[in-house]
Amino acid sequence: MRHDTKQPIRTELIYISVVFFEVEILDAKTKDKLCFLDKVRPTSTKLCAACYPQWYPARQSIRLDPKGKSLKDEDVLQHLPVGTTATFYFRDLGAQISWVTVFLTEYAGPLLIYLMFYFRVPFIYPPKYDFTTSKHWVVHLACMCHSFHYVKRLLETLFVHRFSHGTMPLRNIFKNCTYYWGFAAWMAYYINHPLYTPPTYGEQQVKMALIIFLFCQIGNFSIHIALRNLRPPGSKTRKIPYPTKNPFTWIFLLVSCPNYTYELGSWLGFTLMTQCLPVAFFTLVGFIQMTVWAKAKHRSYLKEFRDYPPLRSPILPFVL
């Protein structure tokens, strides 16, 4: 005969203790104590909002070091190199403006300014040239290429680019607009001047330059699409960009920032097309600035990804 015996059920309560943090926030400049946060959960983020709720988060910067980099919004307290009693430094970044607004302002200016010189509106050249057109076909071609470039940039800003940072300091827009708008006016003044002379080698030089310009514009757009596809909507994740089936992206095998490489090529083509000194100077200054950006991004890739392709250069294959 089989006897069933009931065994007593043993229950155990497991208590999970949560270690809270004590957070002290100091002013990054004066080192004055701004606030003290007690019993902060280890999964907390965006600590500054607790101190200054009247300022929108994009304006606030919190750092581990007074002169260090700002922590990201998604950084979690327990993953930072701090103890349970942590000290952070706060800095007000000032009024902010969205990157979309910045780009639209930067790019709309050169487009409109160049067209003012092209149509020779009054008070730019002598009155007898008001609203006249140039007799040189390269001047009209240059206007179409310049306008195409900035219309492309405007459309990419609206429909292609996905920004990892939502805003930038408002004061920077004045510096950026001075750069883009000022160079556009300088170039347009000479290219559309009534005394402008066509390139030395005539039609052959212009056609060669046009091919270079269009090739690089397509390449630049292809890179922007490839970079966009790496980042899902609403995400800030970063991945290593690799070549796709599009041949214009194969340059990723050798360059970390081929969008800048193609951008440089476009302006070299425009310089060759117009044979204009201000355009050449704008191309040189742009190349220097893009090289700085490309090197910084290249270093960021190397630091973030251990398996980053070693053959890549920042902007020019095997050179720079």
pLDDT tens digit sequence for 38-75: 766 666 555 555 555 556 666 777 777 777 676 666 66
- 52 vs 232, higher pLDDT: 232
Average pLDDT, the chain: 85
Work out the average pLDDT over 217-244: 89
The answer to whether the beta carbons of residues 211 and 266 sit under 8 Å apart is no
Confidence (pTM): 0.82
User: In what helix (H) or strand (E) does residue 149 lie, and over which residues does it extend?
Assistant: helix 137-159
Q: How far apart are CA 73 and CA 57, in angstroms?
A: 9
Residue 274 has pLDDT above 80, yes or no: yes
Bridge partner residues of 98 (DSSP): 167
220: tokens are 């630049």
> Residue 252: which of 264, 238, 262, 266 has the closest Cα?
262
Residue 223 has pLDDT above 90, yes or no: yes
The answer to whether the beta carbons of residues 225 and 218 sit under 8 Å apart is no
Residue 128 has pLDDT above 90, yes or no: yes
| Cβ count within 10 A of residue 227 | 19
Per-residue pLDDT band at 168 (split at 50, 70, 90): confident
User: In what helix (H) or strand (E) does residue 45 lie, and over which residues does it extend?
Assistant: none
Q: Which of 45-49, 94-98, 124-128 has the lowest average pLDDT?
A: 45-49
In the chain, % of residues over pLDDT 90 = 61
DSSP assignment, residue 16?
P
The answer to whether the beta carbons of residues 262 and 220 sit under 8 Å apart is yes
Amino acid identity for residue 307 in this structure: D
Terminal CA-to-CA distance of the chain, rounded, Å?
89
Per-residue pLDDT band at 126 (split at 50, 70, 90): very high
Structural domain spans, the chain: 59-93, 95-197, 199-320
Q: Which residues contact 174 (CB under 8 A, 6 or more apart)?
A: none
Per-residue pLDDT band at 131 (split at 50, 70, 90): very high
Q: State the sign of the Cα–Cα–Cα–Cα dihedral 115, 121, 126, 131.
A: positive
Q: Which residues contact 106 (CB under 8 A, 6 or more apart)?
A: 173, 176, 177, 180
Residue 79 has pLDDT above 80, yes or no: no
Per-residue pLDDT band at 244 (split at 50, 70, 90): very high
Residue 136 has pLDDT above 60, yes or no: yes
Q: State the sign of the Cα–Cα–Cα–Cα dihedral 124, 127, 128, 130.
A: positive
Q: Which residues contact 171 (CB under 8 A, 6 or more apart)?
A: 94, 95
Phi, psi of 152 (to 5 degrees): -60, -45
**Directed axis angle between helix 137-159 and helix 258-274, to 10°?**
160
Per-residue pLDDT band at 217 (split at 50, 70, 90): very high
Residue 216 has pLDDT above 70, yes or no: yes
Residue 205 burial (C-beta neighbours within 10 Å; 0-12, 13-18, 19+)? middle
Residue 142 has pLDDT above 60, yes or no: yes
The answer to whether the beta carbons of residues 35 and 99 sit under 8 Å apart is no
In angstroms and rounded to an integer, the radius of gyration of the C-alpha atoms of the chain is 28
Q: How far apart are CA 256 and CA 315, in angstroms?
A: 6
Per-residue pLDDT band at 1 (split at 50, 70, 90): very low
